[in-house]
Amino acid sequence: VRRRGDVLTLLERKLSARPVGTSVLDEVRRKIRVLKAPSTHAVERVLLAPGGVTSGVVNSGFFHRIAGIEVLF
C-alpha cells in the first residue's frame, strides 16, 4: 500500500490458528528485497496474525505494528 509521505506499507497476513514464529521475519525481509522500493521511500512493516505471535517476533522489534484477531471483528 502506498501512502502519502513516501511511505509504503507492507502488510503480511498469516491466517493460522497457531502463533506465528520468527520465520516470518526472513519471509518479510525477502519480500522487501523483491519489492525494490525507491530509496526515497520508507517501508512500514505490519503483521496481521489472528492466531497471535511468539515472543521472539514481538521482541525482535521488526514490525511497526502487529495486529491480532481483534482487528478482524
Q: CA quadruple 13, 20, 43, 4: dihedral positive or negative?
A: positive
Tell me if 45 sits within 8 A of 60, measured CB to CB. Answer: no
- Look up the pTM and report it: 0.85
Beta strands in the chain (DSSP E): 2-3, 7-13, 42-48, 65-67
Asked whether residue 59 carries a pLDDT value surpassing 80, the answer given is yes
Tell me if 57 sits within 8 A of 47, measured CB to CB. Answer: yes
pLDDT in tens, 5-42: 789 999 999 988 899 999 999 999 999 999 888 888 99
Asked whether residue 1 carries a pLDDT value surpassing 80, the answer given is no
CA 22 vs CA 3, 12, 47, 53, 54: distances in Å: 27, 13, 12, 9, 7
Q: What is the pLDDT of residue 37?
A: 85
